[in-house]
Amino acid sequence: MPRIPGEIRTRYEKLVRAINRYRTLYHVYDTEEISQAALDSLKRELVEIEALHPSLITSASPSQRVAGKPLPWFKKVRHKVEQWSFNDVFSPEEVREFDARVSRYLRDRGVSAPPTYACELKIDGLKIILEYEKGVLKTAATRGDGVVGEDVTHNVRTIESIPLSLERAVDVVVEGEVWMSSESLESLNAAQEKAGKPLFANPRNAAAGSIRQLDPAIAASRALDAFIYDVAETSEELPPTQIAELDYLRELGFKVNPHRTHAKSIDDVVGFWEEWKRKGRHQKYWIDGIVVKVDERRSQELLGYTGKAPRFAVAFKFPAEQVTTIVEDIVLQVGRTGVLTPVAHLTPVAVAGTVVSRATLHNEDEIRRLDVRIGDTVVLQKAGDVIPDIVEVVRDLRPKGSKPYRWPTRVPECGGDGKIERIPGEVAWRCVDKTSFAILRRKLRHFASKGALGIEGLGTKTVDLLLEHGLVHNFDDFFSLAEGDVEALPGFAEISAQKLIASIRASASRVPLSRLITGLSIPHVGEETAILLSQEFRTLEALTRADAEELLRIKGLGEVMAREISEWFADEENRELLHRLTKVITIVSDTKVAGGGVLAGKSFVLTGTLSALSREEAKQQIRARGGDVSESVSKKTTYVVAGEEAGSKLAKAQALGVEVLSEGNFLKLLA
C-alpha cells in the first residue's frame, strides 16, 4: 500500500473534523458558520483526496452518506432493546385520568411527591432505531413488530442530520423519527407527476416510502430529516430525567426538536397541548399531538410497562381532522356472526392523510339519529386519526326529493329467502340463515388465494377482517378499497395498508382468464378445468355465451359439469357480478399451445422458492408450452423443480427416482 504523505493525512483529518462540525452546527444548533456552497466545496476536496488515497476512507467519513449499490431486499434486524408504542389519549379528561393512574401507582410504591412531566412534540414520520458502537453508526432499523425490524442503514446514512460518528466513542442505541418537510414533498410530487408516477398523499407517506427504497440514491435525493428523542441503551450513565436525556442526545451530536417543556402539573401538560394544537399545522414537519412522559427516570422505572406500552407515557393526540364528502350508497354488510352493519359508500376523500371511501353507520338507530340519506353531504372524521366516522349531515346541501333510508326486511346476502331479524334486546339485526356467511367467507378467501387471483397479502385472516368490518361482500369490492379503509383494521398500519392496496391494484392490472374462472367458485370448476375453458374460449364474453352443448364438446368436461357451468353464467346476478368485475380488472387471455407444445405430455411438480419467477409464473410458463402441473409427486411425474428451501416433495422425488431440476436447468428447459 503506497505511503500517504503526512500533510495530506493531516489535511484529510482536518476536513473530516470541520465538515462534521459544520454539519452539527447546522442540523443540531441551527447555526450556519459557512455557506452551504462553501461546505459543498470542502466535501468535494475530501472526496478528491479519498479518490487518490482510498485507504483513508472509513464508514464515518462524510463522503459515505451516499454509498453502495441498490440492495436486492431488506435484511431483518433484531432490536437490542424491544420497541414499544404509546397508548393514545384524545382529550384533557383522558390525560387527567392518565395522571391520576400514574400518581396512584407511584403512591402505592412509596413515592409521595406528585409526578412532573416532559412534553415533546409528536412528529408524524417514520420511527427509526440507530445503534452506534464506539461512537460510529453501526445499524439503522425500522420499528417492525417491536422485536424485529428492517435494516435501512444504507438509506439512513444519506440523511445529513443523522451523525455517522458521535462526539464521544460511546456505545448507544437511540430512537427517533425520520420526516420530510411539506416543501420537500411538493418538490418530490412535482417530479413524480412529471415522470408520470403516483403522487405521495402526505410527508409521512413520502418519508416512509423513501426510507424503504432499495436504492440509497433515491433516498438521498428526497431531502429527509430526523429528530432523535430517546436513549434506549447507553454505555454511559443515563441522565436522571427525560429533559436531561434530550440535552444528553444533543451533546452527542444528535438533532433534537427544540420545542419541549417541563410540566410541573397536568394543567401545564394541557396548556402545552392547547398551544401546539393551535400552531402545530404551521410547522414544516407534521405534528399529530404531543408525547407526555413522566420526567423522573426513577419513577419511569417503577411504573414500567404493560403488555404493549409504557405506563409512564402517553401520546396526547390532536382532535381528528374533519372533511366533507358525499354518501353514494348505503349497503348492508354481513358480519362474521351474521350481524348486519350498514356501511356508507362515499366519494373517496383524503382525511388525516389517507384516502377513505367507506364508513360504518353502526346500526339502524344511528342512521335514524343522523338521518343520513343517499346523496347527502356528510362530515367525516377519523377518530384517533384511524377509524372513519360520519359525525353529521350538512342538511343545507341535501338533494331535493331525497328520502329517509328504509331498513329492508330481506337481504340477499343472507342466503335462502334473505330473511333478517332484530336481535332481542339489541339494536342490531342479523340474518335468519346462519350458514350464509360461512359460504361467502369461503368464496372470498378462495378468490384471493394463490390458486385463483393470488393477491399477495390478502390471506384468509385479512379477508375475514375485511368481511367482519363490512368493507367487502363480493369479489369486485376488493378492487375499490382505499388505503384509509384498510388502515383502520386491527393489525394494520399505514405501511401495511399501502402494501395491500398496491398489491390489489397490481393484481387487477393483469388477470389471466383461467385465474378469474378459478376464483369465481363455479360448481365443479377447479384450476385445471378453468385452464381448459380459458384456452378453448379465450375471452370471458365467449365463455359467457356458451351453452351446455358447446361445453360438452370440450374433452374432459362431463354432462353435469357442462350444465352447472352453463347455468352459472346464465344467472342474472352472476352476469351482473362479471359486469362489475370487468370494470375494475383487466382480463388477459391465457396462451393456447399450438401443436401440443414442446413440453406436451410432461408433468411437473414445483417445490421451494424460485428466485427468477414466482411459483404461479412458473406454472404459466409450463402450461404455455403444453406441460401439466401437479401438486403431488408420483411415478407419473416427469420433473420436480426444486428451488430454495425445497420441502418433502424433493425427498419423495428422490425416493421415487423422479428427475429433479435445479432452477437453472428448469429455465434452460423453458428456453
Name the grid cell of 44.
468535494
* DSSP 8-state assignment for residue 128: E
Tell me whether residue 122 is one of the annotated catalytic residues.
Answer: yes
Name the grid cell of 584.
375494475
Calpha distance 324→507 (Å, rounded): 31
From the list 486, 98, 586, 491, the residue with the least C-alpha distance to 306 is: 98
Where helices occur in 547-614 by DSSP H, the ranges are: 548-552, 559-570, 572-584
The residue from 43, 69, 122, 555 that is catalytic is 122
* DSSP 8-state assignment for residue 318: P
Calpha distance 131→164 (Å, rounded): 11
What are 316's strand-pairing partners? 89, 290
Residue 224 sits at φ, ψ, to 5 deg, of -80, 155
Calpha distance 535→146 (Å, rounded): 48
Cβ pair 209, 167 in contact under 8 A: no
Residue position matching grid coordinates 419541549:
260
What spatial distance separates the first Cα and last Cα of the chain, rounded to whole Å?
48
What are 165's strand-pairing partners? 136
Buried b (16+ CB within 10 A) or exposed e, 600-621: eebbbbbbbebeebebbebbbb
Residues 6+ apart with CB under 8 A from 543: 513, 517, 533, 534, 537, 569
Residue position matching grid coordinates 372524521:
381
Cβ pair 293, 242 in contact under 8 A: yes
Name the grid cell of 454.
393470488
Residue 137 sits at φ, ψ, to 5 deg, of -60, 125
502: region left, alpha or beta (phi > 0 left; psi from -120 to 50 alpha):
alpha
Name the grid cell of 648.
418433502
Cβ pair 440, 455 in contact under 8 A: no
Q: Which residues are catalytic?
A: 122
